[in-house]
Amino acid sequence: MNTDQALQAFLEEHRLPSAYRQIIDRWFAPLAEGLAARHATAGRPLLIGINGSQGSGKSTLAALLTILLAERHGLRSIDLSIDDFYLTRAQRQQLAQDVHPLLATRGVPGTHDVALMRDTLQQLMQRQGPVAVPRFDKAADDRLPPAQWPQTEAPLDLVLIEGWCFGTQAQAQAALEAPVNQLESDEDPDGTWRRYVNHAIEHDYQPLYQDVDAWIMLQAPSFDCVYQWRLEQEAKLVEKIAQQGGQGTQLMSAPQLARFIQHYQRLTEHALRTLPAQVDYLYRLDAQRNIISFSQAHAEQYG
């Protein structure tokens, strides 16, 4: 399979229009080239972090980069999501009982197995031989058993890991005082949940961020877009499950989804305010997810 065939297969798999090839050529092929150059300079495997709000297209970008890196630069890579490192349902239910009921819901920092994430990333970059990569079943809301994890031959040239909160720093304690939405006001009035999440970022996630060699961000115009984007994402997930022979009913209703994304609002808005000045590659999006500009750290802007 040549590059054109690989990209055509990618477009079909992700149900993207043929016009998306122009986006690849203009915006993302240069990104892959830049990552390949970083790898050549470093002379070792690289860890690349991708941040973007829910529905921003970060998983699509990560998958695309693995193809571009392979087909155009001869580099082996893998795209991972922090979603696959969620704590098991039983572990989250225990947290909900011991710390706060909101921790039963997957998503926020503190609901991932960071030790498993770090160990998997290190194995993919350092180990010689097969590495089992965790997988999470969102329909079942639980991690798949290890016997069902796919295996990848290590070491890889680049490991790409994406997540809505990946790279987000802890907030100042004063910023935690006032609730940002009805969920926090009604269900976390004393701030126990958000303080736990913030503590997890500072003590578990931020040390992991030090291992990242380069950061990419897809910057949404505001949190207001996230509900519509996440609604579209939910519909695609339902369709995918149906195609695989699963039940094709909607996983979450619109009201359920509206409440669900409130778990993400605080940190999404914090990331939108703080991360653009810190990342290496920044893509600014409009409400339709079109890229309206790009900037690279220590480089000229264009767009």
User: Strand (E) positions, the chain?
Assistant: 46-52, 77-81, 129-132, 136-137, 142-143, 151-154, 158-163, 214-219, 281-285, 291-296
| Confidence at residue 3, expressed as pLDDT on a 0 to 100 scale | 85
The model's pLDDT over 86-135, given as tens digits with 9 standing for 90+, comes to 999 999 999 999 999 999 999 999 999 999 999 999 999 999 999 999 99
Give the CATH number of domain 3-167+189-296: 3.40.50.300
Q: Which of 154-163, 256-265, 266-275 bottoms out in mean pLDDT, i.e. has the lowest?
A: 256-265
In this prediction the pTM is 0.92
Ranges of each domain in the chain: 3-167+189-296
Distance CA 21, CA 29 (A): 10
- Number of CB atoms found within 10 A of residue 147's CB: 6
Using the predicted structure, report yes or no on whether residue 27 has a pLDDT greater than 90.
yes
177 burial via Cβ count (<10 Å: 0-12, 13-18, 19+): exposed
SS3 197: helix
pLDDT at res. 301: 39
Rounded to an integer, the average pLDDT of 137-156 is 94
pLDDT of residue 300: 40
Q: Distance between CA atoms of 49 and 59, rounded to whole angstroms?
A: 11
* Amino acid letter, 136: F
What average pLDDT does the chain have? 92
pLDDT reported for residue 247: 54
Q: What is the rounded distance in angstroms from the CA atom of residue 299 to the CA atom of residue 279?
A: 12
> In angstroms, rounded to a whole number, what is the distance separating the alpha carbons of residues 88 and 106?
9
Mean pLDDT value across residues 199-227: 95
pLDDT digits (tens, 9 = 90+) for 247-259: 544 467 778 888 9
With 0-12 / 13-18 / 19 or more C-beta atoms within 10 angstroms meaning exposed / middle / buried, residue 17 is exposed
Question: Which token pair is 75?
Answer: 């580099």
Q: Is the pLDDT of residue 80 over 80?
A: yes
